[in-house]
């Protein structure tokens, strides 16, 4: 079974970029809406909670049911994802006095934390949030801080659940890929054996098994999604496309 990192999408503009970074580590990942993800969690090695344009204080904010995930699989909350972990556990998330947007530096890093291990003290990170974490339950241990953000990174004691209020997936966090590797490889235990070539091979095999001798009509727009779909189907069923 393919090792998979599940990304729960809360509507962030950066969600696809998180997926790209994970795949650059030769680890397969799948993006699902926060309220419509697979019930069968077999094969999942870990879960990443994306950022969001919402505030956790909004009445219609995304509130997923993580009962089958949190405490059972490694979880990394990014920005909104981190604030959701705090808010849903009884902590306090409030509007920042000044919108925290732009470059910041991690002046404190707990090197005992597996998520941040090997990162440089003072390393630059990219902030993009209007809310901030003011208070978290006692089990939420601060593992990274900037001069303005105390809860820049945290870990929940007794489980492999982590949160960061910065974005590791963007260019302006130079050691972000190192952090993501710590999560997907060192914490989740992924083997880094997935490649795009392997994806094509396995997808064509699955399509052949599923479609058999069926004929398929494809609407081809010329965009990336339908063009890739056409290529995969053509390899799988040839003239039946």
> For 36-59, how does the pLDDT look when each residue is reduced to its tens digit (9 = 90+)?
988 888 889 999 999 999 999 998
- Residue 98 is predicted with a pLDDT of 65
Q: Classify the C-alpha dihedral 188-192-195-201 as positive or negative.
A: negative
Name the residues annotated as catalytic: 79, 167, 169
Domains of the chain with bracketed CATH: 4-187 (3.40.50.880), 196-240 (no CATH)
Please tell me the distance from the alpha carbon of residue 89 to that of residue 83, in angstroms, as a whole number.
10
The strand pair at 124-135 and 92-105 is best described as antiparallel
Q: Note the pLDDT tens digit of each residue in 106-161.
A: 999 999 999 999 999 999 999 987 899 999 999 999 999 999 899 999 999 999 99
Segment (H or E) for 109: strand 108-109
Please tell me the distance from the alpha carbon of residue 26 to that of residue 195, in angstroms, as a whole number.
6
* Nearest by Cα to 162 from 115, 125, 110: 115
């Amino acid at each position: 079974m393919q090792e998979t990192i599940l990304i729960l999408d809360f509507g962030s503009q950066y969600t696809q970029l998180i997926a790209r970074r994970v795949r650059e580590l030769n680890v397969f990942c799948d993006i699902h809406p926060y309220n419509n993800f697979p019930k069968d969690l077999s094969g999942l090695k870990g879960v990443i909670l994306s950022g969001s344009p919402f505030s956790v204080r909004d009445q219609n904010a995304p509130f997923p049911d993580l009962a089958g995930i949190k405490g059972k699989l490694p979880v990394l909350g990014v920005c909104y994802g981190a604030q959701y972990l705090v808010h849903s556990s009884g902590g306090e998330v409030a509007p920042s006095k000044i919108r925290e947007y732009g470059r910041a530096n991690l002046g404190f890093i707990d090197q005992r934390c597996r998520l941040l291990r090997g990162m440089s003290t003072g390393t630059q990170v990219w902030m993009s949030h209007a809310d901030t974490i003011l208070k978290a339950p006692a089990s939420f241990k601060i593992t990274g801080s900037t001069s303005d953000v105390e809860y820049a990174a945290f870990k929940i004691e007794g489980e492999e659940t982590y949160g960061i209020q910065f974005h590791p997936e963007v260019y302006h966090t130079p050691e972000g890929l190192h952090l993501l590797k710590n999560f997907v490889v060192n914490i989740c235990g992924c083997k880094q054996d997935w490649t795009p070539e392997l994806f094509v091979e396995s997808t064509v095999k699955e399509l052949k098994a599923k479609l058999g001798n069926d004929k398929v009509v494809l609407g081809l727009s010329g965009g990336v999604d339908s063009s890739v779909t056409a290529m995969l189907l053509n390899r799988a069923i040839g003239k039946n496309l």
